[in-house]
Amino acid sequence: MPSVKGMTTYPDERLEPAPALRFLRQLAVDTQFILIGFPLGLLALVLSMVGFWLGVGLSVIWIGLPVLMATLLLSRGLATVERARIAPVIGRRMPRPHYKTSRGTGLWQRMVTPIRDGQSWLDLLHAMVRFIPGTIAFCFAVTWWAGTLGGLTFPLWEWAIPRGPDNSDLPELLGLGDAWSTRVVFYLAVGAFFAITLFPVIRGVALLEALFARALLSGVNELREQVVEAEAARDTARAQKAAAVSAEAIALRRLERDIHDGPQQRLVRLAMDLGRAEQQLATDPAAARATVAEALTQTRETLDELRALSRGIAPPILVDRGLQAALTALAGRCTVPVELDAPPFGRLDPAVESTAYFVVAEALTNVAKHSGATEVRVSVQPVQTGLMITIADDGVGGAGMDKGHGLAGMADRVRAAGGVLSIDSPAGRGTTIRVALPV
Amino acid sequence: MRVVIADDAVLLREGLIRLLEENGHTVVAAVGDGPALVAAVAQHRPDVSIVDVRMPPSHTDEGLRAAVEARARVPGTPILVLSQYVEVSYADDLLADRAGGVGYLLKDRVAEVADFIDTLERVAAGGTVLDPEVVGQLLVRRRRDDPLRNLTPREREVLALMAEGRSNTAIARRIVVTEGAVEKHVRNIFTKLALPPDDEQHRRVLAVLAYLQS
């Protein structure tokens, strides 16, 4: 069943900066990430290694445990900093993962808890090994920036390089000759090469470092979140199914009651009358004729009741002519004047048409029976991903799910179709029912 | 006969009134719920009452319980209970006080006017009448080692008609045999089922039912 989560009536309009500006901004972010990451990586390495091995080594005497705990907490701190740092690089916020919290308040409990927490150990591991991608990235970054800046500004500083008689520049070694222009062009070309490949390279190594960090620092957490999301989706689907089953059961029970109290009684009476007529045929034909006339009336009334019932199950006009025609018929039948705003839809999914129809039908019945309103406004509008239904009256208000006005059944129907229902009914100020249905 | 009617559907109440009056009976009271029935029976002491099982407020078995209460108040007052479908436990409740003058029919039977009036008169006279469908259901739910299997088809027929509360004469008329043949079948049935023989109609029904439900 489609959910209504993706549905939005007012699209978000964020202003996008010019592409060139975006590139430059990303480049700056990545570069600062790599440059700062290098010394941080070394610092983290030193602290984590020292702390860890000290803790392990000293664990034979009691002080090893608190040292270990302190190291883990320190790693956690570094990890939190790192998560914040990688967010602009990979373009996603990194939420703080779930850490085990200590259940007791004793000193021992509080000390042991970080040691029992898996994510803290992952943080420690990251602190120990992050200098590897960090250093690789740093080397690439420095090289490429130097190449770019140096190459492109070569004419500006090449005069400052001391050139002794034995000096051989790279172009000369490559056999391109010793001319000043050749050198300039060569180094400019090199600079251009570095400049063109600057963005992809920096981006690549920054992502390398950031994704490495993310895998260790948030990987487990993301898995856990996916599981939670999947479970939530499954629970929603189950609730929808339960609502559907419940709505159907309620509707069927109501149908049985209606059939029993209406057409069924009439048909029993009809059988009685015809039996009496048969009896009277021999003895009193005039009375028999009168009885048969009564029986005819019963038949006609039974047919009317059956017709009304069938409208309650699958209204023929909805099935044949679609939602707009059916809504118009509903509006025409309502004893309170109805202002209907519904454009011609074209055929929708039968479940959606049926839910929309019954929501409006039930609401109008309530208006006629309980609200004492002078006017009702019904609006059924197609929106981005569905239908928006609004029924507003100016009656006495005070409607609620528990009042036995069939609103609970309506809510079940709406939920079963994957939609949402809201009732706004302050006492004395009319009732507004809003339903959003996905298509 | 003087009759009290209890049914919450106005249509059916009126139909019954016309039907009874066209057949020479008088309806002394027509009510729509259980307490009113009990009051009417106590007040009018009718020759028979016709009661619908399903009545307000809960529309389950108010009528039945009112009938039982009316029988407690006015012991032995004949009551014919009508219901939309067969519910064997209703029969149990009705026959619990072991007095005669009780009937349980499906509402559809009312259409067969002559039979209905006849049933009414039998109940008023102290007989016990059960709808053939009720008896049919009782005959269906049997144990594995079923002594009913020893009965011949004809004897099963006679057993069913006995359980419906018919007299030997009526049974003979129904299956078109002589009354003597019916008596022979009845004797065989009682022997095969190891029931003590009993000619009194009402006790016979009780015995057969008790057997069928054990």
pLDDT at position A10: 46
d(CA A168, CA A386): 74
Q: Answer whether A280 sits within 8 Å of B22, measured CB to CB.
A: yes
Structurally, at CATH architecture level, domain B2-131 sits in 3-Layer(aba) Sandwich (3.40)
Q: At what angle do helices A407-416 and A180-259 cross, to 10 degrees?
A: 140
The pLDDT tens digits of the residues spanning A84-115 come to: 988 888 888 888 888 887 777 777 777 778 77
Query: How many CA atoms does the CB half-sphere of A178 hold within 13 Å?
Result: 5
Q: How would residue A14 be classed by pLDDT, with cut points 50, 70 and 90?
A: low
> Domain segments of chain A: what residues?
19-236, 241-313, 317-438
* pLDDT exceeds 60 at position A12: no
Q: How would residue A65 be classed by pLDDT, with cut points 50, 70 and 90?
A: confident
State how far residue B104 is from chain A, nearest Cα, in angstroms: 17
Residues whose CB is less than 8 angstroms from the CB of residue B158 and which lie 6 or more positions away in sequence, other chains included = B171, B175, B182, B185, B186, B189
Interface membership of A385 toward B (CB under 8 Å): no
State how far residue A286 is from chain B, nearest Cα, in angstroms: 13
The pLDDT tens digits of the residues spanning A346-370 come to: 888 888 898 999 899 989 988 888 8
d(CA A147, CA A157): 14
Q: Which residue in chain A is spatially nearest to B106 when comparing CA positions? A: A268
Which residue shows structure tokens 């019932």? Answer: A309
d(CA B130, CA B136): 10
pLDDT at position A7: 46
ipTM of predicted complex: 0.75
The pLDDT tens digits of the residues spanning A385-428 come to: 889 999 999 988 888 777 666 788 888 889 888 899 999 988 88
Single out the residue of B28, B21, B23 nearest to residue B3, CA to CA: B28
Interface membership of B16 toward A (CB under 8 Å): yes
Share of chain B above pLDDT 70, in %: 94
pLDDT at position A9: 44
pLDDT at position B50: 95
Strand pairing of B79-83 and B48-52? Answer: parallel
pLDDT at position A62: 80
Residue B82, Cβ neighbours under 10 Å: how many?
A: 26
Single out the residue of A82, A47, A85, A89 nearest to residue A67, CA to CA: A47
pLDDT at position A253: 83
Fold of B142-213: Arc Repressor Mutant, subunit A (1.10.10)
Q: In what order do the strands lie in the sheet with B2-6?
A: B26-31, B2-6, B48-52, B79-83, B102-106, B128-130
Q: Answer whether A271 sits within 8 Å of B111, measured CB to CB.
A: yes
> Domain segments of chain B: what residues?
2-131, 142-213
Residues whose CB is less than 8 angstroms from the CB of residue B89 and which lie 6 or more positions away in sequence, other chains included = none
* Mean pLDDT, range A199-215, rounded to an integer: 91
Question: Partners of A93 in the beta sheet?
Answer: none
A272 contacts on B by Cβ (under 8 Å): 12, 15-16, 19, 110-111, 113
Can you point out the beta strands (E) in chain B?
A: 2-6, 26-31, 48-52, 79-83, 102-106, 128-130
Strand pairing of B26-31 and A338-341? Answer: unpaired
∠ CA(A184), CA(A190), CA(A196), 5° rounding? 130
Q: Using the CB atoms, write b or e for A256-294: b if 16+ within 10 Å.
A: eebeeebbbbbebbbbbbbbbbbbbeeeeeebbeebbeb
d(CA B11, CA B3): 18
Average pLDDT of the residues of chain A: 85
* pLDDT exceeds 90 at position A283: no
Centroid of chain to Cα A251: 31
The pLDDT tens digits of the residues spanning B139-195 come to: 765 555 666 777 888 888 888 888 888 888 888 998 889 999 998 988 888 888 777
Interface membership of B22 toward A (CB under 8 Å): yes
Q: Answer whether A279 sits within 8 Å of B111, measured CB to CB.
A: no
Range in A139-148, A173-182, B22-31 with the lowest mean pLDDT? A173-182
Interface membership of A293 toward B (CB under 8 Å): no
Scanning A153-264, the segments in alpha helix (DSSP H) are 154-157, 170-173, 180-259
* pLDDT exceeds 70 at position B40: yes
The pLDDT tens digits of the residues spanning B41-81 come to: 999 999 999 999 988 887 788 889 999 999 999 888 999 99
Q: Is the four-CA dihedral B191, B197, B201, B207 of positive or negative sign?
A: negative
The model scores a pTM over 0.80: no
Single out the residue of A245, A251, A259 nearest to residue A406, CA to CA: A251
Q: Answer whether A287 sits within 8 Å of B9, measured CB to CB.
A: no
**Greater confidence, A3 or B12?**
B12
pLDDT at position A11: 44
Q: For domain A317-438, give the CATH number.
A: 3.30.565.10
Interface membership of B99 toward A (CB under 8 Å): no
d(CA A400, CA A407): 7
pLDDT at position A53: 93
